[in-house]
Amino acid sequence: MRILIHGANVVTPDRTAVLNVLIEDHLIANVTADPIDPSSVDQAIDATGLHLIPGVIDDQVHFREPGLTHKEDLAHATRACAKGGVTSFLEMPNTIPNTTTVDALHQKLDMASGKCLVNYGFYIGATPDNVRELQNAKRTPGIKIFIGSSTGNLLVDEQAALERIFAETDLPICAHCEDETTVRANAQKYSASTDVADHSKVRDHNAAVIATRRAIDLSTRHNHPFHVLHVSTAEEVELIAAAGPTITAEVCPHHLFFNIDDYDRLGSLVKMNPSIKTAADNERLFQALLDGTIGVIATDHAPHTLEEKDQPYPACPSGLPAVENYLALMLNQVNQSRCSIEQVVSWMCAAPARVWNIKNKGHILEGYDADLTLVDLSLSRTIENQTQQTKCRWSPWAGETLTGWAVRTFVMGKEAYRLEDRTEHFAPEPVGHEIEYDR
């Protein structure tokens, strides 16, 4: 199958230029300013006025399968990805059962085959005693550590266990950084509270800063690549800015755009781990993207049903859905002149591919996989719960009108999503593939 996308504003992290892109089967065959004869292809797409970006790579999601599929599953979640311009995802290990062995990892990959509308990868989770499994894992982007509260046996808080993981493994490591001792002490202090706003006092700035400092120290001493997930505080930004070359970091939309003032309006819908912080933290986190201290934007997409979220605090679970809307949230920032579309491509396409050594993705280059997203920067749409593709069918951004949306998504050269005449079309069968890593 030969597909020609002609006349598009093709975006790289460095520039935007009007180019023609030829897809042959699953690869980008040509990127050129020269005309390509439309009669030589099976399908020609006039993309005049649209922007063509590499498919977005979300490196932190919780798609809940297996074990928690009443909240989300791969079929719904990957439809949400395709609609949102996301062509690849990396999923966390805290499903049921946890992904803490090579066998469990391979079972998850086998399960995903034939279910996903976009490309898929899965982290292997660290426990206090599974270093051998971590050493033997190959088909994974890296190791996930929960340095803070989690489920099952995924909490790794003892220093000796953390030292072994950083010293005796080779895969890149990422972590949920909240200090367990601090969180437990704060939880005891607010044990009688039913006010969801107190969640940001339980999981406070100190909890995040202490754990992030600890992880940076481990990474630096062992010269081991480490990625700080969902940075939520200005103080962490300063730690990351002063850290060495082994450290990379990311921020999520809820920590960029929500803060403690939003509890009055949204209540438990914005209860997250790490918690949302202050408006000053919002500003410092955005500035950290602009100055390069933080290089990646990911979602931490972690849906729960509305019935679960409606439980009184603290029983209401932490987490919210975001994968469907986060490209639009950032394109809206482009339209507000807070950043450029080239920066968005860097943060959401090129940087995650670089951090996780993802092969042939994250750029629009000849020989790369044809994971592509056509964007209409002038299109305005209002987020509505009833039209969400995520299985939980709600968004904390419901009611907001954003300008700049994906209108066509290609996964390995096949159309996964198209918005045409206000009607959404999805591929009739899964087109996603297992992600490969260049290491």
Q: Which of 300, 369, 371, 376 is catalytic?
A: 300
Q: For residue 317, what is the DSSP state?
A: P
Q: Dmax over Cα atoms in the chain, in whole Å?
A: 71
Strand partners, 382: 401
By three-state DSSP, how is residue 241 classified? helix
Specify the pairing of strand 226-228 against strand 247-251. Answer: parallel
Rounded to 5°, angle at Cα 388 from 386 and 392: 90
d(CA 170, CA 114): 30
The answer to whether 435 and 412 have CB atoms below 8 angstroms apart is no
Give the separation between CA 365 and CA 368, rounded to whole angstroms: 6
Contact yes or no for 371/412 (Cβ under 8 A): yes
Distance of alpha carbon 412 from alpha carbon 400, whole angstroms: 32
Residues β-bridged to residue 417? 409, 426
**How far from the centroid of its chain's Cα atoms is residue 428's Cα?**
25
Tell me which H or E stretch contains 4.
Answer: strand 2-11
**E-strand stretches of 225-313:** 226-228, 247-251, 296-297
In DSSP terms, which residues pair with 54 in a beta bridge? 372
From CA 326, how far away is CA 305, in angstroms rounded? 20
Angle, CA of 268, 272 and 275, to the nearest 5°: 110
Of 163, 143, 168, 131, the closest CA to residue 93 belongs to 143
What letter would DSSP give residue 416? Answer: E
Q: Residues 266, 306: contact at Cβ < 8 Å?
A: no
* Catalytic status, residue 300: yes
Residues that are catalytic? 300
